[in-house]
């Protein structure tokens, strides 16, 4: 059974925390574009288009939505947190509407996922010198997940792990990567996710050496390394799990690299301690690889990208487990752990699970893949 969605009271607490941060930093208003942050704070999930639909937050003042006049009825029917709704006609400027709302003087923070035309329109209407990015306000709030958010992601990841298990059980020689993508989509839907796949990468053979897969649609053959990276969402909260195994008998080199990947993932998990900088987790994974002749740094064979990323309403969100990110690990933060090893032109191994920070340190959402030969040992099948 899926956990309950995020409540109105939780969204209101988020807005209160945002307003408090704005007050502390002397920010008069914050414009949130049609991004995941709009859903996070207000419950309004809106497809970004060439027209501005968003929300303006001002400390101590009513929450205000901005939308085209012809979208008023729809927006009014799906907002989560009640507020004023200001509209603009097609010949009018929504940025002038925002400028009139926030008034003269004071800094205006802008959602840093906002489209460029939003920034440019506000700069013209308000003045570029008044605009600042809103990351310093928004990211610390979104990075620390509540119990409700953790519960939604725990369930979403369990659904994705089961979709993985079913895909593995279905594999047979000759199946195409696109067929497996379709199967996983069907399983995510059957298991009760928001929809089908939020994304799905299925790679066979040499395509596994490309972190985001190849462009073709290969047929599976005996001895191929299989890498599947996929996810679903519940109430917008994401899963993102990768499993790598072999269709047939693995070579000695594949076994060796798989074990190093497994060790690097474990080392990264152990390094994720409260108060440690995010970059320490990346360093721990790379230390395992360099001690075994891989890398160093981003050199191949080795790890070509960061060890992990934050996750929540976005599959990839700050902070990240990467060199240079010195954000201290704190309770409620959630990360992927995926120190992929690439052997160029031959194969790649990525094991990806996620953990969240608790008062006692890191806790897995899903247990890591136990072995190369029995990748789903210990995973209890869900009801069909």
pLDDT by residue (tens digit) across 135-185?
999 999 999 999 999 999 999 999 999 999 999 999 999 999 999 999 999
**Residue 328: inside a domain, yes or no?**
yes
Residues of the chain with pLDDT > 70, as a percent, come to: 100
List of residues 6+ apart from 27 with CB closer than 8 A = 21, 59, 106, 107, 108, 109, 132, 137
Domain residue limits at 204: 144-364
What does the pLDDT look like over 275-303, one tens digit per residue? Answer: 999 999 999 999 999 999 999 999 999 99
Query: Do 172 and 265 fall into the same domain?
Result: yes
- Residues 188, 289 within the same domain: yes
- Please give the pLDDT value at position 208: 98
Same-domain status, 49 and 174: no
CATH code: domain of residue 193: 3.90.230.10
What is the mean predicted confidence (pLDDT) over 212-237? Answer: 97
Which pLDDT score, from 0 to 100, does residue 1 have?
85
Looking at the domain assignment, is residue 380 inside a domain? Answer: no
Q: 35 pLDDT band (50/70/90 cuts)?
A: very high
Same domain, 138 and 156: no
Q: Give the C-alpha separation, 178 to 181, whole Å.
A: 5
| pLDDT tens-place string over residues 360-379 | 999 999 999 999 999 999 99
Please determine, for residue 384, whether its predicted confidence score (pLDDT) is greater than 70: no
Residue 374 falls inside a structural domain: no
Residue (of 259, 280, 257, 258) closest to 269 by Cα position: 280
The answer to whether position 371 is within a domain reads: no
Cα dist. 41→28, 66, 91, 203 in Å? Answer: 17, 15, 29, 37
13 falls within a domain: yes
The per-residue pLDDT for 44 is: 98
In the listed set 142, 158, 179, which residue is the last one of a domain according to the structure? 142
Do 238 and 134 share a structural domain? no
User: Does 148 lie in the same domain as 132?
Assistant: no
Q: Could you tell me if 260 and 207 lie in one domain?
A: yes
pLDDT at 328 over 90: yes
Domain boundary among 95, 120, 142: 142
Computed over every residue of the chain, the mean pLDDT equals: 97
Number of domains in the chain: 2
Distances in whole angstroms, Cα of residue 4 to Cα of each of 15, 87, 308, 365, 374:
20, 32, 28, 18, 34
């Amino acid at each position: 059974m899926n956990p309950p969605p995020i409540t109105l009271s939780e969204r209101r607490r988020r807005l209160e925390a945002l307003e408090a941060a704005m007050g502390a930093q002397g920010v008069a208003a914050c414009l949130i574009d049609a991004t995941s942050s709009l859903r996070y704070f207000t419950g309004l999930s809106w497809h970004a288009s060439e027209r501005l639909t968003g929300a303006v937050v001002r400390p101590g003042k009513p929450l205000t939505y901005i939308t085209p006049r012809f979208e008023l009825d729809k927006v009014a029917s799906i907002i989560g947190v009640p507020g004023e709704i200001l509209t603009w006609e097609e010949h009018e400027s929504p940025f002038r509407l925002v400028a009139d709302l926030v008034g003269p003087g004071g800094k205006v923070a802008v959602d840093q996922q906002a489209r460029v035309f939003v920034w440019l329109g506000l700069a013209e209407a308000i003045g570029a010198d008044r605009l600042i990015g809103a990351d310093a306000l928004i990211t610390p709030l979104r990075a620390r997940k509540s119990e409700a958010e953790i519960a939604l992601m725990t369930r979403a990841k369990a659904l994705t792990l089961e979709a993985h298990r079913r895909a593995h059980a279905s594999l047979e020689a000759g199946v195409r990567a696109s067929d497996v993508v379709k199967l996983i989509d069907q399983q995510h839907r059957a298991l009760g996710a928001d929809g089908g796949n939020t994304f799905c990468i299925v790679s066979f053979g040499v395509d596994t050496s490309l972190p985001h897969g190849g462009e073709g649609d290969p047929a599976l053959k005996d001895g191929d390394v299989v890498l599947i990276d996929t996810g679903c969402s519940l109430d917008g909260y994401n899963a993102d799990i990768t499993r790598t195994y072999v269709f047939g008998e693995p070579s000695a080199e594949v076994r060796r690299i798989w074990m190093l990947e497994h060790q690097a993932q474990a080392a990264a998990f152990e390094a994720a301690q409260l108060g440690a900088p995010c970059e320490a987790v990346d360093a721990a994974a790379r230390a395992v690889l360099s001690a075994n002749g891989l890398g160093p740094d981003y050199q191949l064979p080795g790890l070509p990208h960061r060890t992990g990323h934050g996750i929540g309403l976005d599959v990839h969100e700050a902070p990240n487990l990467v060199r240079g990110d010195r954000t201290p690990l704190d309770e409620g933060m959630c990360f992927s752990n995926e120190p992929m090893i690439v052997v160029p032109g031959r194969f790649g191994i990525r094991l990806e699970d996620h953990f969240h920070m608790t008062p006692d340190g890191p806790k897995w959402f899903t247990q890591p893949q136990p072995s190369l030969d029995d990748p789903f040992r210990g995973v209890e099948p869900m009801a069909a």
